[in-house]
Amino acid sequence: MAKKPKGHKVDLMLAEKIDQIIHEIETAQSEKVAPDKVLKKASTYLKKEPSLTIPFVEALTRIPNTETAELLTDMMDEASDKRVVKSIKRTLYKLRQRGVRWEEKPPKDEPILKAPKPAEPQGYVGAIDSTGSRIIVITRSQALRGLLVVFSIVNDLKGIQEFNLKEFSKKGFEEFVKSSLSSVEFPIVTAPGAYCIHLLREACSLSQRLSKPLPQGYHDAENEFKDITWDEPAPLIYQHIKEDEVGDRPHLLKDSANLHKIMPFSTWHLGSQEVEKYASRIIEAQKSRIVLRADQKEARLNNIYRDALEELFPEDRRLLWKRRLEEAAYILLKTGREDEAKAALSAAVDLNNPFSPIDPNPFIWNLMLKSIQGMIESDSKKKEEEKKTSLIVTP
């Protein structure tokens, strides 16, 4: 018969001692013994055998209640060993995960009467235009001084474009939003202040990567909001519509093709420099003297469009438009257009993957088509104007 390891007997004895202490604490708690007396009783055992301390602390997860949490916090006040303090914090975390709640105690050297915390910031975001620019506004109430307001315009390709730090009265700020910021075409909607600060910091990082100087006042604003962090997933829309609600939903993805009929998508287009060469190829194909059947001509045009799709939307650009759709979906949702918000988000989720050669993303396909067609029409009008001008006879 194989021998048991030498440490087995020692481990068993340790477990039995821990079980005994845990049982006595459970009994004391059930009998409503004062917490300081329970701690004193536990400390008696631990002072005799310090090696029991950490195993005992870990074993307290077996008694998930408020009294146990208070016992642990009292122990932490008296503990000097960093390993013990770490073990207590870990056990408190596990208790919290199991739903235990207790009143937090201030650290020993922290005054009980604290200065009031600054007010939570409020945020506002605007719709993204075709260049990737949008308005972000952050406000914070100041004691006896109205509102501190950060007004900024940020661009997802260029970083911070405009930035102002001002003070407003609450009434003055409301009038400013209605008269100067929000419009039917490009509404301003509320958003968590912490998220708006997160967006502003994203733009700041982009400016720095592009070696652009940060605007005057930015560091003052950063200092004002240094206590604010955004710990939730971004973009914000996923807190309201889950990805699995819109992913792999063919009808929603198909509906995204129609988004170009509404704002802000009706103004979205690719830059003329981006689509110029494809517009030229389309014009050339349409004017070609080579006699082609209708299906051959259509196939030739489709090949040009698919070349354009592949070249205009490498992964980084695909993900850029994905983020624009996600941010736009939040605006739609906040303005009461939930169906359109889901269609936009469905198109965004689809952009996680490379385009299907057979059935590419409907929103992006229509974005590309209207951009190229717009370029062709613009070029045609320009030539017509030039032709008219050349026919004018000057005296």
pTM (predicted TM-score)? 0.68
Counting other chains too, the contacts that 31-39 makes at CB distance below 8 Å and 24 or more residues apart are: 35/67, 35/70, 35/71, 35/74, 36/74, 38/67, 38/71, 39/71, 39/74, 39/75
What is the C-alpha to C-alpha distance for residues 142 and 148, in angstroms, rounded to an integer?
7
Is 241 within 8 Å of 342 (Cβ atoms)? yes
Q: Where are the domains of the chain?
A: 9-97, 122-230, 243-382
Share of the chain above pLDDT 70, in %: 89
Residue of higher predicted confidence among 105 and 299: 299
Q: What are 139's strand-pairing partners? A: 122, 149
Tens of pLDDT, residue by residue over 84-125, are 888 888 888 888 888 888 777 665 555 555 556 778 899 999
Average pLDDT in the 43-57 region? 81
What angle (nearest 5°) sits at the alpha carbon of residue 279, between those of residues 273 and 285? 155
In which residue are the tokens 């993900």 written? 319
Is 305 within 8 Å of 376 (Cβ atoms)? no
CA 324, 329, 334, 335 dihedral sign is positive
Lowest mean per-residue pLDDT among 97-101, 203-207, 313-317, 366-370? 97-101
Query: 158 by DSSP, 3-state: which?
Result: coil
Task: Identify which of 80, 92, 87 has the alpha carbon closest to the alpha carbon of residue 56.
Answer: 87
- CA 185 centroid distance within chain: 24
Query: 5 by DSSP, 3-state: which?
Result: coil
Task: Identify which of 37, 28, 40 has the alpha carbon closest to the alpha carbon of residue 65.
Answer: 28
